[in-house]
Amino acid sequence: MSIDSAPLEGSPAVSSAAPTVVSAATWSSLLLAVAPAPVAAAAAFAPAPVNLLAAACGIAVLAVGIVAQVAHTGLFFLPALLVLAVAAVKLWREQSRGQGEGVSR
């Protein structure tokens, strides 16, 4: 197409009735691009009972996004999933260890 939106010679004309179907790649791309940041922030800065739940939600969000985008860019997020999973396990261990002890000051 040219700058003044007229089709060039030999190029197919763009119809105004373009389909508006949302493909599966769209929602999973948005899931991987947007959702992990606030969930990881909640896991990092929330109070003790909430942060383990937020870490588990972050793992679920990343896992679903990676599975949906495995043919495109999903595997690029595998290191982030592994780091979040290790952090969740360490957080769970710390919380379970802290419940057995009294708070000393």
pLDDT (tens, 9 = 90+) of the chain, 105 residues, equals 555 555 566 655 555 555 555 555 577 777 777 888 888 888 888 887 788 898 888 888 888 888 888 877 778 888 888 888 888 888 888 888 877 665 554
Q: Residue 79 is part of which domain span? A: 24-100
Report d(CA 91, CA 55) in Å as an integer: 9
Question: How far is C-alpha 6 from the geometric centre of its chain's CA atoms?
Answer: 40
CB of 92 closer than 8 Å to CB of 52: yes
Q: Is residue 105 part of a domain?
A: no
Could you tell me which of 21, 42, 24, 20 has the C-alpha nearest to residue 32?
24
Q: If you count DSSP H runs as helices and E runs as strands, how many of each does the chain have, helices first?
A: 4, 0
Q: Is residue 69 part of a domain?
A: yes
Q: Is residue 7 part of a domain?
A: no
Chain segment 20-42, per-residue pLDDT in tens: 555 555 777 777 778 888 888 88
Q: Is residue 12 part of a domain?
A: no
Total count of domains within the chain: 1
Q: Is residue 29 part of a domain?
A: yes
